Amino acid sequence: MSAPADLARALDELGLTVPAPAEHPFHGAAETRWVPPARIVEACRAFRDAGYFFESLTCVDRLAAHGVFELIYTFNQWRLPGRVALRVWAPQDTPVPTVSGVFGGADWNEREAWEFYGVVFAGHPNLTWLLLPEGTAFRPLLKSFTAPPPSEYDDSLTPPPPPADAEAAPRS
């Protein structure tokens, strides 16, 4: 299996000609290509013009071996069977351009990758915590992560003291 001819031609014109291992049995991608981080937005635009939708964003921690995060963008469409994926090796300290301007649904995927791995997406409209509490300082899905001990968390949610002019508590 491979990508439809029009999409393959568009990707070729962008110079994204290097195939990456497709791993079809694992996530069903018919074709996978390597993309430099700086060119991910125009690659996504080619997918959108070919009628594809953004399916998911996967992040892999390859910091120990290669010093990069591997980002796998998967795209699909409803006409033919055939998922197509893009792979990006993003160096740890370099922000990756956001694709949320092309595919709005990528917004939350990028927030998730940011909060769990620390991948910074340049130009993202709202790069804040999605699933973890606001202000979480650690990146739980990094391989180097060790969880703080339970005593570090405050589960009591101690409320702020009521204002001085608050009425007496209702009888209950």
Partner 1 sequence: MTPSPEAQPGAAAAPPSDRALEGLADEAAPFVRLAMVEDVFNLARANSLWPLTFGLACCAIEMMAAGASRYDLDRFGAGLFRPSPRQADLMILAGTISRKMAPVIRTLWDQMPGPKWAISMGGCTISGGPFKYKGEYAISEGAEKFMPIDVHVPGCPPRPEALIAGILKLEEKIKQGRRFERAG
Piece of 16-24, 30-38, 64-72, 139-147 that binds partner 1 (CB under 8 A): 139-147
Q: What minimum distance in Å lies between the beta carbon of 36 and partner 1?
A: 34
Piece of 22-30, 44-52, 95-103, 147-155 that binds partner 1 (CB under 8 A): 147-155
Using CB under 8 A as the binding rule, whether residue 166 contacts partner 1 is answered as no
Which residues are registered as beta bridge partners of 118?
none
Here the tokens at position 32 are 């996978």
Using CB under 8 A as the binding rule, whether residue 144 contacts partner 1 is answered as no
In the set 65, 157, 164, 167, which binds partner 1 (CB under 8 A)? 157
In the set 156, 161, 163, 167, which binds partner 1 (CB under 8 A)? 156
Residue 24 · residue 32 · CB < 8 Å? no
Which residues are registered as beta bridge partners of 135?
none
- Please enumerate, as own/partner, the contacts of 43-48 that have beta carbons within 8 Å and a separation of 24 or more: 43/11, 43/14, 43/16, 43/86, 44/73, 44/86, 44/99, 44/102, 44/103, 44/106, 45/102, 46/7, 46/10, 46/11, 46/14, 47/7, 47/75, 47/84, 48/102, 48/103
Using CB under 8 A as the binding rule, whether residue 159 contacts partner 1 is answered as yes
Using CB under 8 A as the binding rule, whether residue 172 contacts partner 1 is answered as yes
Number of residues binding to partner 1, judged by CB under 8 A = 19
Here the tokens at position 65 are 């071996």
Q: What minimum distance in Å lies between the beta carbon of 117 and partner 1?
A: 14
Binding site for partner 1 (CB under 8 A): 129, 131-133, 138, 140, 146-148, 150, 153, 155-157, 159, 169-172
